[in-house]
Amino acid sequence: MLFIETDSPPPFYQEKLTAAKRKQLDQWFIGHRTQRYYIKRFEQFDKQGYLSPKWHWAAFFMTFPWLLYRKRYMDAIVYSVAGWSFIQLNVALVLVFFEFAAMSYIPDAYHMATRIGIAAMIWLFWSFMVARWTDAYYYRMARREIADAINDYPRDEAAQKVHLKREGGVSLYGLGLGFGFFAFALMVINVQFLPIIAKQKEREVLFDAYDIAKNAQTRVAIIYQQTGSCPIDLPLSTDAQKVTMHVSNQADGVPVTDCAVIATVRNAQFPIRYLNGQTLVFYHEATSDNWQCVSSLNKKQAPKSCISN
């Protein structure tokens, strides 16, 4: 689609056809859907004598379903294999370069958004290029099929009509298939790939949360040992931390305690927002000098030292 000849006259152009005959053949090929739009585009290309970029909204937003809708089945396969592979290769190359060259300058909280933004910009650029040449591509397909119909059935107008209606027009089945494919792809991403990304991000956030909370508990334990009282007014949290922490002489869901460090996960981004509000509690046993840990996380998520036997 992006490598269309811009010869003059356009490819497969039938010079001997009258304007009325050419329009009739175009109508048979286009079908009733958006016929006025494509007839206008085709006449523009015929008049100027060469192919040029125009804007096509449907191709910009949904190229693959549009190709299936317009019965360009083989082209849809080529586009999905070659086109998407080309996009993925470019996304991978740019992301690898950016990871080493610039990602260290981006705050951790924006890493995922940056990666998504880079991929989206590459995809939008590709969609932009495709949308500019879609009308020229469809014109070329029409002229090719019309040339085939005339060559195969030079004196049989009815056969020409059957040929063009079969090769052209629209297919609601193809449109449904295109959107069904996207729905399937989204389901696979949600079920298979998103959990893999989420698991890695979850481990990073929980490791940092436990490490920060454990360091805070060590600090509180030293003060408690030196003063004999729980430093409930001790400031622990900072804006740079991924958890909010405070010291209290009681905590929900733990045995009797006279001092506890309560750490709550915050600012967890997609796809691990479910961690927000989860807690790690390091508490001092009132009847001994030991510190224990409990967590609102489930057994698969919680650190081993915070899992109750």
pLDDT in tens, 12-28: 888 888 999 999 999 99
Mean residue pLDDT across the chain: 88
The whole-angstrom separation of Cα 293 and Cα 299 is 13
Torsion from C-alpha of 124, 127, 133, 134, nearest 10 degrees: -150
The whole-angstrom separation of Cα 276 and Cα 305 is 21
Three-point CA angle 274, 279, 282, nearest 5° = 160
pLDDT in tens, 257-271: 889 999 999 888 888
Q: Which domains does the chain have, with CATH numbers?
A: 19-170 (no CATH), 201-306 (3.30.700.10)
Better pLDDT: 239 or 285? 285
DSSP letter for each residue of 19-84: HHHHHHHHHHHH-STTHHHHHHHHHHHHHHTS------HHHHHHHHHHHHHTT-HHHHHHIIIIIH
- Find where tokens 């003060």 sit: 223
H/E element, 112 = helix 111-152
As given in the structure block, the two tokens for residue 22 are: 């050419």
pLDDT in tens, 64-108: 999 999 999 999 999 888 888 888 888 889 988 988 888 888 887
H/E element, 153 = none
Which three-class secondary structure string do you get for 279-293? EEEEEEECCCCCEEE
- Number of Cβ atoms within 10 Å of the Cβ of 229: 11
Predicted pLDDT of residue 309: 52
Predicted pLDDT of residue 9: 61
Instruction: Please give the average per-residue pLDDT across 130-158, as a whole number.
Output: 93
The whole-angstrom separation of Cα 263 and Cα 12 is 72
